[in-house]
Amino acid sequence: MAMKHLLTLARRSQRRLCLNQAIRSASSAVAAVFSPFTSPATPSPSPFPHVIMPYDEASETVKSKLKKLENPDTRFLKYASPNPTLASHDHILAAPETRVTTLPNGLCIATESNLSAKTATVGVWIDAGSRFESESTNGTAHFLEHMIFKGTERRTRSGLEEEIENIGGHLNAYTSREHTTFYAKVLDTNVNQALDVLADTLQKSEFKEASIEHERGVILREMQEVEGKTEEVVFDHLHATAFQHTPLGRTILGPPQNIKSITRDDLQNYIKTHYTASRIVIAAAGAVKHEDIVEQVKKLFTKLSTDSTSTSQLVDKEPANFTGSESSPSWKDPDCVSLMVMQTMLGSWNKSVGGGRHMGSELAQRVAINEIAESIKAFNTNYKDTGLFGIYAVAKPDCLEDLAYAIMYQVTKLAYRVSEDDVTRAQNQLKSSFLCHLDGTTPVAEDIGRQLLTYGRRIPTAELFARIDAVDTGAVKRVANKYIYDKDIAISAIGPIQGLPDYNWFRRTTYWNRY
């Protein structure tokens, strides 16, 4: 009995000892967590096993992958780096690609190849027009356009015409206020011959006195014909009113007294001064290869002037100052695209076409329903440093007041209320008209030459459409408030205009007294 009692006491004392040790270890662990006097550097051992949670494993996996990216295996760096870098994708967006080569003398060559085509257009686009003439030489650029295909040292006038006709080609030229263009459209097998003709006429024209006197009479008769074209006369007067006493206000044809006095020396001096290599773009589109065009241009265009004077320097000497408050933006101004959308919103209409009652343009609807005009057309003309934005209309004398109210109401409304549907419709119409315009090798070549002279590059279609899509109602209101709201305007009109409101009436309608 005594022995059993001793064994029982021994077991109880052993249990109590184990229990006391467990209580002490647990209290020390709690103290390590909660006591501010316990050092974190020497934590007490925990009696519970450490359990790894799933999100801890995922975190460790990500850390290991990041370390591998920071120190990648050299085998994976053989062709490219795993780290992303900025890259240009213009060559992908520009389809088909416009290839550009600039020669050491500054002459620019640009082509857009379409080898499935059977024709090609090659031309010379020159950054020179009537605005770069003086008052005494106004009309020289247009006179030179008439003289350029009238015979060279190698080709007579009749020989030149027969050569182009024999290959089924077409030669043409035109002059604007800032650009002069000579181009030829031929079959794919005659591209080199067309380049030879253009180079010969541009560099080796003879300008015989007999031809000058003959073209002098032709231009004077052309001026009489232009006087009968209402639209051209109105726009010439508009430029003369908007840009008074500046080169941009002069006409392209020039005054009759200048046409009667232009000499051979005037033509040659104009070529030496303005037909310089750095201001010329040779553009080609259609069935052409860029390398072949470049090689031909290097061989043929060797006698161009190397004068380094740029058109920007000439414009800075004689800028176009708008007579009113604020002129429209230039080609390079970001607001130019918004004004293009606004022009499309205002739209155009002609009585002979019909359909105005159901057109998207509110101005066209009002004019067609009330029959207050024969035709209307919104315009947005841009230049290097300025522009013109407005409405051209033809109406009967007794409808002028109603027509003026309708025009000014819709134009001023752009600064107050703009519908999202109208903006979207105008964007779609603008993009559609742009693509329809580029249907053919000649419009494409013209677009290449004009954009390279204006922007120094050809804007890809994707970029232009992105700029158009970026115009919203807020942009239209902002641009309208900048260029239309409470601004002085320029007006020109011809015919029986006794019923046309005076200038003060037009000026008052550039704003509304409403909030």
Active site residues: 145, 215
Give the torsion through C-alpha atoms of 120, 122, 127, 130, to 10 deg.
-90
> Cis before residue 96, ω within 30 degrees of 0?
yes
DSSP state of 294: H
H-run or E-run covering 476: helix 473-483
Closest alpha carbon to 128 in 146, 140, 117, 112: 140
**Residue 349: which residues within 8 A CB-CB, separation 6 or more?**
356, 359, 361, 363, 364, 367, 368, 373, 375, 376, 377
Using alpha carbons only, give the angle 413, 414, 419 rounded to the nearest 5 degrees: 100
Give the torsion through C-alpha atoms of 209, 212, 218, 222, to 10 deg.
-160
What does the block give as tokens for 264?
């051979």
Rounded to whole angstroms, the Cα distance separating 513 from 515 reads 7
**Residue 71: which residues within 8 A CB-CB, separation 6 or more?**
none
Contact 212, 147 (CB under 8 A): yes
Rounded to whole angstroms, the Cα distance separating 100 from 98 reads 6
Taking CA atoms, 288 is separated from 110, 166, 234, 243, in Å, by 11, 20, 41, 41
What does the block give as tokens for 221?
């008769």
Helices 264-274 and 140-147 pack at an angle, to 10 degrees, of 100
What does the block give as tokens for 315?
């414009």
How many contiguous H segments (helices) and E segments (strands) does the chain have? Answer: 20, 9
Question: 170-188: string of b/e by CB count within 10 Å (b at 16+)?
Answer: ebebebbbbbbbbbbbbbe
Q: Distance between terminal CA atoms of the chain?
A: 113
Give the number of residues written for the chain.
515
User: Where does residue 165 rank: exposed (0-12), middle (13-18), buried (19+ CB within 10 A)?
Assistant: exposed
